[in-house]
Chains A and B, each alone.
Chain A
Amino acid sequence: MCFTTNFWPFLVQGLADGFLYALIALGYTLVYGVLQLINFAHSEVFMSGGFASYFVLEALIGTSQPHGMASVGYVAIGIGAGAFGGALVAFLLERVAYRPLRRRNAPRLAFLISAIGGSYFIYNLAGKEFGRNALEIPAPFLNGPAFTLFGATIQTDYVVVAICAIAMLIIVDRVVAMTRLGKGIRAVAQDAETASLMGVNINRVISQTFVIGGLLGGAAGFLFGLNFGVAYTMGFTPALKAFTAAVLGGIGNIRGAVLGGLLLGVIENLSVTCIGANWRDVVAFGILVAVLLVRPTGILGERLGRSA
Chain B
Amino acid sequence: MRPATKRLGLPAAAAVLALATFGGAATAATAHGVSAHAAKPTYTIAYEGPLSGGNAQLGLNMEYSVKLAIDQANAGKTFGALPFKLRFQAADDQGSSTQSPTTAQSLIDNKSVVAVVGPAFSGATKAAEPLYHAAHLATVSPSATAPALATQHWNNFFRVVADDNAQGPADAEFAAKVLKAKSVYTVDDASAYAVGLVGAFDTKAKQLHMKVIHQEAPGTTQCQAGTGNVQQYGALSTQIVSSKAPVVFYAGYYCDLALFAKGLYAAGFHGKIMSDDGSLDPHYVSQAGASVADGSYLSCPCTNLGNTPQDKAFATGFKKMAGFPIGTYSAESYDATNTIIATMKKIGAKVTRPALVAGLHKIIYNGLTKTVHFQKDGNIAGSTEYIYEVKGGKIVELGMASQLIAKA
Binds A, one of B30-38, B48-56, B362-370: B48-56
Residue pair B232, A13 in contact (C-beta under 8 Å) = no
Chain B residues whose CB sits within 8 angstroms of the CB of A127 once the complex forms: 52
Residue pair B268, A136 in contact (C-beta under 8 Å) = no
Measured CB to CB, the nearest residue on chain A to B254 is A133
Residue pair B222, A278 in contact (C-beta under 8 Å) = no
Given contacts A132-B52, A233-B222, contact A228 B231 (CB under 8 A): yes
Chain B residues whose CB sits within 8 angstroms of the CB of A281 once the complex forms: 229
Residue pair A133, B54 in contact (C-beta under 8 Å) = yes
Residue pair B221, A234 in contact (C-beta under 8 Å) = yes
Does A88 sit at the interface, judged by CB under 8 A? no
- Nearest-neighbour CB distance to chain B for A41, whole angstroms, equals 17
- Nearest-neighbour CB distance to chain B for A284, whole angstroms, equals 9
Residue pair A234, B216 in contact (C-beta under 8 Å) = no
- A interface: dominant SS: helix
- B interface: dominant SS: mixed
User: What is the CA–CA distance of A134 and B253 in the complex, to the nearest angstrom?
Assistant: 13
- Nearest-neighbour CB distance to chain A for B238, whole angstroms, equals 5
Given contacts A5-B242, A9-B238, A143-B266, contact A277 B54 (CB under 8 A): no
Does A17 sit at the interface, judged by CB under 8 A? yes
User: What is the CA–CA distance of A3 and B217 in the complex, to the nearest angstrom?
Assistant: 20
Chain B residues whose CB sits within 8 angstroms of the CB of A228 once the complex forms: 222, 230-231, 259
Does B346 sit at the interface, judged by CB under 8 A? no
- Nearest-neighbour CB distance to chain B for A185, whole angstroms, equals 30
User: What is the CA–CA distance of A100 and B239 in the complex, to the nearest angstrom?
Assistant: 50
Residue pair B56, A132 in contact (C-beta under 8 Å) = yes
Chain B residues whose CB sits within 8 angstroms of the CB of A238 once the complex forms: 229, 231
Residue pair A17, B231 in contact (C-beta under 8 Å) = yes
Kindly supply a per-residue 1/0 record for chain A positions 275-308, scoring 1 wherever the CB is within 8 Å of any chain B CB and 0 otherwise. 0111011000000000000000000000000000
User: What is the CA–CA distance of A277 and B235 in the complex, to the nearest angstrom?
Assistant: 8
Size class of B's contact patch?
A: 35 or more
Residue pair B235, A145 in contact (C-beta under 8 Å) = no
Given contacts A5-B242, A228-B222, contact A10 B268 (CB under 8 A): no
**Considering the complex, which residues of chain B in the window 163-202 have a beta carbon less than 8 Å from any beta carbon of chain A?**
187, 190
- Nearest-neighbour CB distance to chain A for B58, whole angstroms, equals 11
Residue pair B286, A278 in contact (C-beta under 8 Å) = no
Residue pair A6, B239 in contact (C-beta under 8 Å) = yes
Kindly supply a per-residue 1/0 record for chain A positions 1-35, scoring 1 wherever the CB is within 8 Å of any chain B CB and 0 otherwise. 00001100110010011000000000000000000
**Considering the complex, which residues of chain A in the window 203-239 have a beta carbon less than 8 Å from any beta carbon of chain B?**
227-229, 231, 233-234, 236-238
User: What is the CA–CA distance of A279 and B57 in the complex, to the nearest angstrom?
Assistant: 30
User: What is the CA–CA distance of A237 and B234 in the complex, to the nearest angstrom?
Assistant: 16
- Nearest-neighbour CB distance to chain B for A278, whole angstroms, equals 4
Measured CB to CB, the nearest residue on chain B to A228 is B230
Measured CB to CB, the nearest residue on chain A to B286 is A136
**Considering the complex, which residues of chain A in the window 266-281 have a beta carbon less than 8 Å from any beta carbon of chain B?**
268-269, 272-273, 276-278, 280-281
Residue pair A231, B222 in contact (C-beta under 8 Å) = yes
> What are some 16 contacts across the A-B interface (CB < 8 A)?
A17-B231, A132-B54, A134-B258, A136-B287, A139-B289, A153-B267, A153-B268, A228-B230, A228-B231, A229-B258, A233-B54, A237-B230, A238-B229, A273-B239, A277-B232, A280-B232
- Report, nearest first, the 4 A-B pairs whose CB atoms are least far apart: A272-B235, A278-B216, A269-B235, A9-B238
Q: Spell out A's residues near B (CB within 8 Å).
A: 5-6, 9-10, 13, 16-17, 127, 132-134, 136, 139, 143, 145, 153, 155, 157, 227-229, 231, 233-234, 236-238, 241, 268-269, 272-273, 276-278, 280-281
Q: Spell out B's residues near A (CB within 8 Å).
A: 52-54, 56-57, 187, 190, 215-218, 220-223, 225, 227-232, 234-236, 238-239, 242, 255, 258-259, 262, 266-268, 283, 286-287, 289
